[in-house]
């Protein structure tokens, strides 16, 4: 890593500064091929979600509410025809990326890492005409910083009521933008501090539009932190680890060591996963199991007397809605997930639409689904027991659901997911946009890539 620091200052540097040093020092040439490949996969996955989500009413409302206060048309809004200034674009794109609950997940921390980072980075890179390799390096820097801060907050943070994709995400955006803007170590240290003191997002918002707002604000706040720091706007030196620092205020059981463990050489991005289903991650094992049993036994809804699910604690805590009324609520109903798994054999955006949630057949089958917590089951596990009206019993235990680290989505599946999500907004341009994303590491500039995502 390029560094002008003397050994003594290295020894003295705190965690915030070490993270800043890592972020601004990261070079594309240092990245192992597997990390570059995973970065591309993350971009394909996330930006498909952003293009699809760009047409969601919550993004319409943000553009209508804040557009009149916005600046010059500097950046593309994925999936939309308008352009916006970079800060509004970061906000709107962040919301768009997350509103379908179809983005990526870092299972160890429950962070959805790419949304805050890419939503800030893409408009900035478009405006600066950054190269694809610079973009990839900045993206990786952002994800690595974000996931390490998420680890340091530990599960207590989420349990206390924080939405970690908002709270940790802003650091990813700040680090990535600092890297793309070639900030020095001091400025990036300040950017992380400015991010720390704007970090927010409550789980109490789940089920409302404000859940996705967290990702938008993380992207916008992280970008503006880097912009402010670039002008010499100061913050604290030890914003994360210091007395009354971020990790101590926002977690009752922080782990400061996790902030800087294995920087370089151990890549959090390689522990990222992509959703096959357009709903809360904790629904996936049950949905996966229902599809599998449907295929194996040719099950139809009319055959089924009951579906008994055994699931992880968080599945019921986060997705325990037995009678969802909208598509958004359906994404947080493991009961609806099981129903469409059996009826439709799928779990894409179509199966979590308002119409599909309100349909007679899903409503009827949902009422025959029960779910209970099994403390023995992990988050990517489920036990599905289906009893038919004829009294037959079919049982499946899902060990690692599709989309988990152990059963990752293939490149082909990610491409298909992108095309399905992007078709509506991009039409015939969707395959060209996909190719441009696949070729990102060698792209001369990101401006052309970004513009291909306009609706």
Residues in the site for its own copies, rule: CB under 8 A?
A: 58, 61-62, 64-66, 68-72, 74, 85-88, 160-163, 166, 193-194, 196-205, 207-210, 213-214, 217, 224, 227-228, 230-236, 238-239, 242-246, 248-249
Local structure of residue 22 (DSSP, 8 states): H
Task: Quote the CA–CA distance of 133 and 189 in Å, as a whole number.
Answer: 23
Q: How far is the CB of 185 from its own copies (least distance, A)?
A: 17
- How far is CA 282 from its chain centroid? 14
The two structure tokens encoding residue 452: 């291909």
Longest dimension (CA), the chain: 76
- Between 124 and 369, whose beta carbon lies closer to its own copies? 124
CB of 243 to its own copies, least distance (A): 8
**Minimum Å distance from CB 285 to its own copies?**
24
In the complex, least distance from residue 208 CB atom to its own copies, rounded to whole angstroms = 4
Query: Could you give the CA distance from residue 211 to residue 223 in angstroms, rounded to a whole number?
Result: 19
Task: Kindly compute the dihedral angle of the four CA atoms of residues 326, 329, 331, 334, in this order, to the nearest 10 degrees.
Answer: -120
Cβ closest to its own copies, residue 237 vs residue 308: 237
Nearest approach, Cβ of 275 to its own copies (angstroms)?
Answer: 23
Give the nearer residue to its own copies in terms of CB position, either 48 or 221. Answer: 221
Question: Measuring CA to CA, which residue among 309, 289, 191 is closest to residue 239?
Answer: 191
If one counts every other C-beta atom within 10 angstroms of the C-beta of residue 447, the result is 16
Token pair for residue 179? 């890297």
Q: Any idea what DSSP says for residue 331?
A: T
Among 267, 280, 191, smallest CA distance to 233 is for 191
Query: 372 - beta bridge partners?
Result: 310
Q: Closest CB to its own copies among 87 and 143?
A: 87
Q: Which two tokens stand for residue 209?
A: 């539009």
Closest separation in Å from C-beta 200 to its own copies: 4
Q: Which is nearer to its own copies, 248 or 438 (CB)?
A: 248
Which residue, 232 or 375, has its beta carbon nearer to its own copies?
232
Q: Give the nearest distance from C-beta 413 to its own copies in angstroms.
A: 33
Q: Considering beta carbons, is residue 198 or 358 the nearer one to its own copies?
A: 198
350: its two tokens: 């179509």
Instruction: Name which of 310 and 315 has its Cβ closer to its own copies.
Output: 315
- Residue 100 has a CB neighbour count (10 Å cut-off) of 24
Instruction: Spell out a b/e string for 411-439, using b for 16 or more CB atoms within 10 Å of the CB, else e.
Output: eeebbebbbbbbbebbeebbeebbebbbe
- For residue 310, the surrounding DSSP H or E stretch is strand 304-311
User: CB-wise, 221 or 455, nearer to its own copies?
Assistant: 221
CB of 407 to its own copies, least distance (A): 32
> Distances from the Cα of 146 to the Cαs of 164, 218, 362, in angstroms?
10, 11, 38
Question: What is the smallest separation between the CB atom of 63 and its own copies, expressed in angstroms?
Answer: 9
């Amino acid at each position: 890593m390029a560094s002008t620091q003397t050994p003594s200052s290295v020894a003295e540097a705190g965690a915030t500064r070490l993270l800043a040093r890592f972020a601004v020092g990261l070079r594309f040439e240092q990245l192992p091929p597997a990390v570059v490949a995973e970065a591309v996969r993350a971009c394909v996955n996330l930006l498909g979600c952003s293009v699809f989500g760009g047409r969601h009413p919550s993004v319409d409302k943000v553009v209508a509410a804040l557009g009149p206060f916005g600046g010059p048309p500097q950046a593309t809004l994925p999936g939309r025809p308008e352009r916006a200034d970079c800060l509004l674009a970061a906000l709107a794109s962040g919301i768009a990326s997350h509103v379908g609950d179809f983005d990526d997940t870092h299972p160890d921390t429950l962070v959805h890492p790419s949304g805050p980072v890419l939503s800030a980075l893409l408009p900035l890179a478009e405006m600066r005409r950054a190269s694809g390799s610079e973009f990839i390096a900045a993206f990786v820097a952002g994800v690595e910083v974000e996931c390490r801060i998420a680890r340091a907050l530990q599960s207590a943070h989420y349990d206390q009521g924080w939405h970690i994709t908002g709270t940790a995400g802003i650091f990813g955006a700040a680090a990535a933008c600092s890297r793309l803007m070639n900030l020095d170590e001091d400025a990036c240290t300040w950017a992380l501090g400015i991010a720390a003191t704007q970090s927010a997002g409550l789980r109490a918002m789940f089920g409302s539009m404000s859940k996705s707002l967290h990702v938008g604000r993380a992207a916008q706040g992280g970008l503006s932190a880097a912009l402010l720091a670039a002008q010499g706007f100061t913050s604290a030196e030890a914003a994360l680890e210091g007395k009354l620092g971020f990790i101590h205020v926002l977690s009752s059981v922080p782990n400061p060591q996790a902030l800087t463990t294995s920087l370089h050489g151990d890549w959090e991005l390689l522990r990222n996963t992509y959703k096959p289903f357009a709903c809360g991650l904790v629904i996936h094992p049950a949905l996966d199991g229902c599809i599998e049993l449907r295929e194996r036994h040719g099950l139809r809804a009319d055959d089924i007397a009951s579906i008994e699910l055994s699931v992880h604690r968080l599945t019921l805590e986060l997705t325990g809605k037995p009678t969802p009324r909208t598509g958004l609520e359906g994404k947080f109903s493991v009961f609806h997930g099981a129903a469409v798994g059996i009826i439709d054999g799928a779990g894409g955006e179509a199966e979590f639409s308002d119409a599909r949630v309100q349909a007679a057949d899903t409503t009827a089958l949902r009422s025959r689904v029960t779910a209970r917590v099994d403390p023995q089951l992990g988050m990517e596990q489920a036990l599905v027991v289906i009893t038919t009206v004829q009294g037959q019993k079919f049982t499946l235990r899902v060990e690692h659901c599709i989309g988990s680290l152990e059963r990752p989505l293939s490149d082909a599946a990610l491409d298909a997911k992108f095309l399905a999500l992007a078709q509506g907004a991009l039409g015939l341009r969707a395959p060209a946009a996909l190719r441009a994303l696949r070729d990102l590491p060698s792209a001369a500039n990101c401006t052309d890539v970004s513009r291909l995502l306009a609706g």
